[in-house]
């Protein structure tokens, strides 16, 4: 009996040693390495994307409330835009986003304004600084589901402080897609002109995105 046990333990040790020698990696793949796939529920509502803050940050247009007539921006106030690296790479190569691309625009307020234009002074100068998270809009490229709106679906998860909506139904053309169709149909329904990483291809070398 003892002999058998020893043989088993010896065998296990051998397997461990071989694994080490062959450098077999048994760690699970980190979540952000897996391609993200848009999830829809049975009513066709999009589930709020997760993990997007680890995607490529392509830009941050800013529309402070205080600069708008009426004091309220449609999308208050910073618009942080995230796209998965594989989709950024594909756009840089082909000028189009692949089927399944998800773009997240996460809103933040400006940090506690002290001037009427919404700005404040910090050691770096007078200007705008990120305040708290304040909502999310998402676009999804799916030529079957969203053929009516140039292959992209538009979703609003709330323009307010967290918690945000857990799921969102496709927004109407007048609420969202219409403005993108009217202005950026030529650049895959996306405002490439505001994202230097995608716009100024000559400044992008592979090493900067590694
Ligand atoms: C009146 C025009 C207009 C409407 C309506 C509009 N957008 Fe946009 N959208 C823009 C502009 C301009 C930008 C880029 C600059 C910015 O964010 O200020 C943008 C950017 C975006 C982005 C970032 C990716 C990109 O296309 O550049 C997403 C995502 C987005 N919008 C989703 C939505 C959703 C969802 C709605 C409806 C709730 C919506 N948009 C309605 C004008 C509009």
End-to-end Cα, the chain, rounded Å: 56
Spacing, Cα 180 to ligand 1 middle (Å): 7
Q: Residues lining ligand 1, judged by CB closer than 6 Å?
A: 61, 63, 75, 79, 81, 103, 105, 137-139, 154-156, 171, 175-176, 179-180, 190-191, 194
Nearest Cα residue to atom 12 of ligand 1: 191
Rounded to an integer, the average pLDDT of 60-75 is 97
Local structure of residue 171 (DSSP, 8 states): P
Distance 1 CA to ligand 1 centre (A): 72
Q: Are 39 and 20 in contact (CB under 8 A)?
A: no
Calculate how far, in angstroms, residue 121's C-alpha sits from the geometric centre of ligand 1: 29
Q: Where in the sequence is the domain holding 182, given as residue range(s)?
A: 35-209
**List of E strands, the chain:** 46-47, 56-59, 78-83, 102-110, 120-122, 125-127, 130-141, 152-156, 167-168
Q: Which atom of ligand 1 is nearest to the CA of 137?
A: 35
11 and 92 co-located in one domain: no
Whole-number pLDDT of residue 209: 72
Q: What CATH number is given to the structural domain containing 170?
A: 3.50.70.20
Residue 18: strand pairing partners: none
**Whether residue 81 sits in one domain with residue 14:** no
**pLDDT by residue (tens digit) across 137-185?**
999 999 999 999 999 999 999 999 999 999 999 999 999 999 999 999 9
Do 79 and 173 lie in one domain? The reply is yes
Name which residue sits closest to atom 20 of ligand 1, judged by CA: 191
The tokens for 102 are 């998800």
The structure's pTM equals 0.86
């Amino acid at each position: 009996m003892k002999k058998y046990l020893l043989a088993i333990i010896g065998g296990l040790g051998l397997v461990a040693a071989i694994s080490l020698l062959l450098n077999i990696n048994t760690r699970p793949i980190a979540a952000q390495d897996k391609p993200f796939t848009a999830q829809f529920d049975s009513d066709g509502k999009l589930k709020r994307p997760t993990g997007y803050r680890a995607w490529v940050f392509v830009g941050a247009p800013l529309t402070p409330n205080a600069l708008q007539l009426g004091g309220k921006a449609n999308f208050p106030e910073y618009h942080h835009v995230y796209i998965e690296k594989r989709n950024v790479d594909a756009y840089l190569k082909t000028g189009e986003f692949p089927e399944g691309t998800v773009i997240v625009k996460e809103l933040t307020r400006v940090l506690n304004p002290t001037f009427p234009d919404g700005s404040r002074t910090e050691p770096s100068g007078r200007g705008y600084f990120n305040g708290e998270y304040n909502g999310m809009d998402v676009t999804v490229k799916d030529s079957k589901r969203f053929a009516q709106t140039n292959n992209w679906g538009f979703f609003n998860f709330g323009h307010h402080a967290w918690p945000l909506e857990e799921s969102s139904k496709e927004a109407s053309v007048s609420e969202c897609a219409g403005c993108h169709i009217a202005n950026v149909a030529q650049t895959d329904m996306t405002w490439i002109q505001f994202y230097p990483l995608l716009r100024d291809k000559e400044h992008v070398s592979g090493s900067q995105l590694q």
